[in-house]
Structures are given as C-alpha cells and as structure tokens.
Structure 1
Amino acid sequence: MSTPDIIDTLAGIKPGSALDAIRTKRLQARENAQKSYLSLFEPIDAGDVSLLERAAVAAFVTGLHGETPVASFYRDKLAATADGPRLVEAIELEIARGKTSGPYGSFPAGPLSVENTAGLIFRVSAERKSALGARLVAALEHAHLLVFRPRDAASDDMQALLAAGWSNTGIVTFSQLVAFLSFQVRVVSGLRTLAAVNASEEAAS
C-alpha cells in the first residue's frame, strides 16, 4: 500500500480542489517532496539513523515551529514508533524550553556584523539527558542550532555529534532531515493559508 502524499495530507488538500490543481502544475516538485519524505522517514534501510531518532528529531523540530498539523503528525509518529512513547513527554518538555524566535547569532567580523543578534543557546536539561540518551541529546541541541542560529554553526558543533556517536553518514542524513522539515512546515503553512483565503472568498461570493 502506497503512502498518501504527505504534504497533501497535512495541508488538507482534497483531490480535484483548487490547491490540488496548483500542486499538479508543479508535478515534479510534488513528487520530489514525497520522495524526500519517504527516503527520510520510511527508508528501506534506516542505516546510521534509527527510525526512532528520525521521529524524535522530527517531533522536536516541528514542535519548535509551533502547534501545527505537522507537529501533531510527527508527535504521533514518534508515539507510534517502537520505544517512542517513553520519549514523547521528554521531547515535549524540551520543545517548551527551546521555543524562541529567530534567526539570530553572529556573523564573521565584517559588514554583516551589525546584524549580530543574541539569543537562546539551547541545551537539553540535565534531568532528561538519561532518558533521551547521548545521541538524541546531541541531535536536539544541533537541530535547535540549525533552526534558530545557523550562522553560528561551526566545526565544534559537528564534533559534538561525532563525540555522541553519530557517524559522518548519519550527520548528513540528520542535516537533510532538519532541512526537509523546515521546508515542509513552510509549504504546509502556506498551502493552509491559501486554503483559508479561498474558503473566505467563496463564502463571501
């Protein structure tokens, strides 16, 4: 059984609707987004990043963006993953601690330095480190960095992942996952906004 188009599902797009027609006009982009989801969250071989880790990072990243259908989807996905239910509460608590607004951080010395902005440097709370484990602790901290202060990313941050047991291949997969989630959240948000506008215009006509 094939997996339904995830963006259509999260955006509430019905076959034959105006938004369905819009997405159909960019069929390759639609198909590529679905392939990205499947390769990251339903891989034939999870390799160096377990399905549990993928779901936990996804729940955290999308949760940082706010309570949306996307965040709910990945929270439920984590809860449905083997050994996932025990992590849901810990992830939710860390989301609450990590929520902020961005981007922020510091640019290298130069003209852009005037745009330097201070902000939260997220670290997982000591009381939840044992429940999450070293790999997820490092992953959540790095994910927060990528979401809110990517300009601060440095080699030391990569070393922290390696020291926690992440392989180079795993780090690449992890980075792709965070990038895809940021894309997905924005696309779904935009499509749902368009749907609301269309519904409002139809009601007014």
Structure 2
Amino acid sequence: MATKDIIDALAGIEPGSALDGIRAKRVQARDNAQKSYLSLFEPIDAGDVSLVERAAVAFFVIGLHREPTVAAFYRAKLTAIADGARLIEAIEAEIARGETSGPYGAFPAGPLSVENKAGLAYRVSAERKTDLGDRLVAAFEHAHLLVFRPRDAAVADMKALLAAGWSNTGIVTFSQLVAFLSFQVRVVTGLRVLGASLGSANAAGGA
C-alpha cells in the first residue's frame, strides 16, 4: 500500500480539491518531496542514524518552528517507535528551552557586519542530558544552530557532533534531515495559507 503524500496530509489537501489540482501541476516537485521524506524517515536501512534519532530530531526541529500540526505528526511518529516514547517529555522541555526568534548571529567582518544580531546560544539543559544521550544532545544543539544562527556555524560545531559519536555519514544525513524539515514546514504553511485564501475567494464568489 502506497504511503499517502506527507505534505498533502499535513496541509490537509483532499483529492480533487483546488489545492490538489495546483500541486498536480508540479508532479516532479511533489514526487521528489515525497521521496525525500521516505528516504529520510522510512529508509530501507537506517544506517548511521537510527529511526528514533531521526524522529527525535524532527520533533525538536519542528517544535522550534512552532508548527503544532506538523509537530504533532512527528511526536506521534517518535512515540510509535520502540524506545521513542520515553524521549517525549525531555524533548518538549528542550523545545520550550530553545524557543526564540531568528535568524541571528555574526557575519565575517565586512559589509554584512551591520546585520549582526545577538541571540540565544542554545545548550541542552544539564538535567535532560542523561535522558537524551550524547548523540541527541549534540544533534539538538547543532540543529538549533542551523535553524536560528547558521551564519555562526564553524568547524568546532562539526567536531562536537563527531565527539558525540556521529559519523561523517551520519552528519550528512542529519544535515539533510534539518534542511528537509525546514523546507517541509514552509511548504505546508504556505499551502495552508493558499488553501484558506482559495476558500475565502470561493465563499465570496458564492455570496
């Protein structure tokens, strides 16, 4: 049985709807987004990044984006994986701890330095480190960096992942996860706004 298109599901797109028709005009983009989701979250071989780690990172990253419907999806996904449910409380606490607004950080010295902006340098709380483990602690701290202050990313940040037990291949997969999630949440949000706009226009036309 084919997996339902995840973006359609999260955006509430029904078959035959106006939004479904709009997405159908970009078949390749739609298919590629679905293939990316499946390869990252339902891989044949999880390799260097476990399914629990993938879902945990997703729940944390989407929580930082403050998108409740998508966050609920990844929360449920994590809960359904063996050993995942025990992480929920710790991750929810860290989402709250990491909430902020961005982007911010410092550019290299030059013309863009006028746009430098200070902000939260997130670190996992000491009381949650045991629950999460070294790998997820490092992953959450790096994910927060990528979401809110990518301009501050440095070699030392990559070394922190390696020191926590992430392999080079695992870091690539992790980076792909964060990038995909940022893309996914923006597309879902945009489609919902468009859907609401189309609904309002149809209602006005029928008045």
> Which TM-score band (shorter chain)?
over 0.9
> Which 4+ stretches in 1 moved above 3 angstroms?
none
Distance 1:175 1:26 in 2: 26
Distance 1:13 1:185 in 2: 15
Once the two structures are superposed, the pairs formed by residues 14-163 of structure 1 within 5 Å of their partners are 14-163=14-163
Aligned to 1:191: 191
Structure 2: unaligned runs, 5 residues or longer: none
Report the Cα offset of residue 68 of structure 1.
2.5
* Residues 24-83 of structure 1 deviation map (CA, whole Å, 9 limit, x = unaligned): 111000000000000000000000000000000000000001142111101111111111
SS at match of 1:100: coil
Report the Cα offset of residue 203 of structure 1.
1.9
Distance 2:132 2:68 in 1: 24
Report the Cα offset of residue 200 of structure 1.
1.4
Matched, 1:182 2:182: yes
Aligned to 2:172: 172
- Give yes or no for contact 2:67–2:185 (8 Å, CA) kept in 1: no
Q: 1:48 corresponds to which letter in structure 2? A: D
Distance 1:22 1:101 in 2: 32
Aligned to 2:204: 204
Distance 1:18 1:202 in 2: 10
Distance 1:183 1:166 in 2: 23
Report the Cα offset of residue 17 of structure 1.
0.8
Q: 1:177 corresponds to which letter in structure 2? A: L
Q: 2:172 corresponds to which letter in structure 1? A: V
Q: 2:193 corresponds to which letter in structure 1? A: T
Q: 1:199 corresponds to which letter in structure 2? A: G
SS at match of 1:119: coil
Normalised to the residue count of structure 2, the TM-score between the two structures is 0.98
SS at match of 1:14: coil
Matched, 1:4 2:9: no
* Residues 168-196 of structure 1 deviation map (CA, whole Å, 9 limit, x = unaligned): 00000000000000000000000000111
Identity %: 80
